[in-house]
Amino acid sequence: MEIRNLGTSGLRVSAIGLGCNNFGGRIDLEATRKVIHKALDVGITLFDTADVYGERGGSETCMGQVLGDDRKRIVLASKFGIAMDDVDVKVGASRRYIMSAVEDSLRRLRTDWIDLYQVHMPDPRTPIEETLRTLDDLIRQGKVRYIGCSNFPAWQVTEAQWTAKACGLNGFVSCQDEYSLVFRKPEAELMPAMRKLGLGLLPFFPLASGLLTGKYRRNVALPAGTRLANTQRLADRYLTERNWQIAEKLGDFAESHGHTMLELAFSWLLAQQPVASVIAGATKPEQLEQNVKAGSWQMTAEQLAEINAIANS
């Protein structure tokens, strides 16, 4: 497994990370245990979760029950900010909420520290300086090692880093955002800003909810139990005519080069700057072996250019 620095920070993460959003929700404790143990076996070190995953707390709770001493072997990432209740109290990025949210996550995870603590989404009601000062306090207390953000537009990432520098605070080391061969919005503004600021990108939905795995066929019934078969809003979003055409052309390209669509999708992402680790979820242990293998295609400049031409068509 390739290990990379997260941006220009000293935090080192596996090139393929484990998205833990299925734990405590789509899969139960025992299934979670099998996935976590397999991830450790194949060399995955970045485990990314959030307090809201697993129907509010389920993912962190399952991970805390399973990891034990293995917690010391991994880079444990979590997030806060999305509502954890229905009354608009446990939500946001204020000092008051962060100080309680981190304690709740530490308790569920059964750990004394979180390696990467991320603001899950911008909080328009709280000044970014308040958020950063609170996170800086958590770093100084040893409860958090590094901080990052998710779903922030480029201007807010830049504002946060400028504020941190001006106030002498620890700044973000990473951004976690959707990025794939059929969703390339970050390339316009976010990724150039991140390269300038020295931040690492952790792409989520790298397979466009499964479209880029090659297991779906146009005008053929969606496989039972898959995400796109079970979630209509995702199917409506990803199964567009344009995306079908791109996926089919990419599949042909991968096959002509002796690779799978999965290998193309992951290896292309890992060739993009400043991608540090590709976050991919799993519900079965065997998926992890496929994910790790999928990041090993060392693409040439010519191959990358051909892939970009297809994805931009």
Give the CATH number for residue 17: 3.20.20.100
Q: Where in the sequence is the domain holding 182, given as residue range(s)?
A: 3-208+264-299
Q: Which helix (H) or strand (E) holds 79?
A: strand 75-80
pLDDT in the model for residue 146: 98
- From residue 17, give the alpha-carbon distance in Å to each of 33, 104, 191, 256: 16, 24, 20, 28
Residue 304 inside a domain? The answer is no
The set of catalytic residues is 53
Q: Which helix (H) or strand (E) holds 147?
A: strand 144-150
Strands 12-14 and 16-19: unpaired
Q: State how far the Cα of 30 lies from the Cα of 278, in Å rounded to an integer.
A: 25
Residue 21 inside a domain? The answer is yes
154-210 pLDDT, tens digit per residue, is: 999 999 999 999 999 999 999 999 999 999 999 999 999 999 999 999 999 999 888
Residue 294 inside a domain? The answer is yes
Residue 269 inside a domain? The answer is yes
pLDDT in the model for residue 221: 78
Residue 46 inside a domain? The answer is yes
Q: State how far the Cα of 46 lies from the Cα of 49, in Å rounded to an integer.
A: 10
Residue 215 inside a domain? The answer is no
Spans of the chain below 70 pLDDT: none
Residue 309 inside a domain? The answer is no
Query: How many helical (H) and strand (E) elements, i.e. helices and strands, does the chain have?
Result: 12, 10
Q: State how far the Cα of 145 lies from the Cα of 188, in Å rounded to an integer.
A: 30
Residue 214 inside a domain? The answer is no
The tally of domains found in the chain comes to 1
Would you say 120 and 79 are in contact if contact means Cβ atoms under 8 Å apart?
Answer: yes
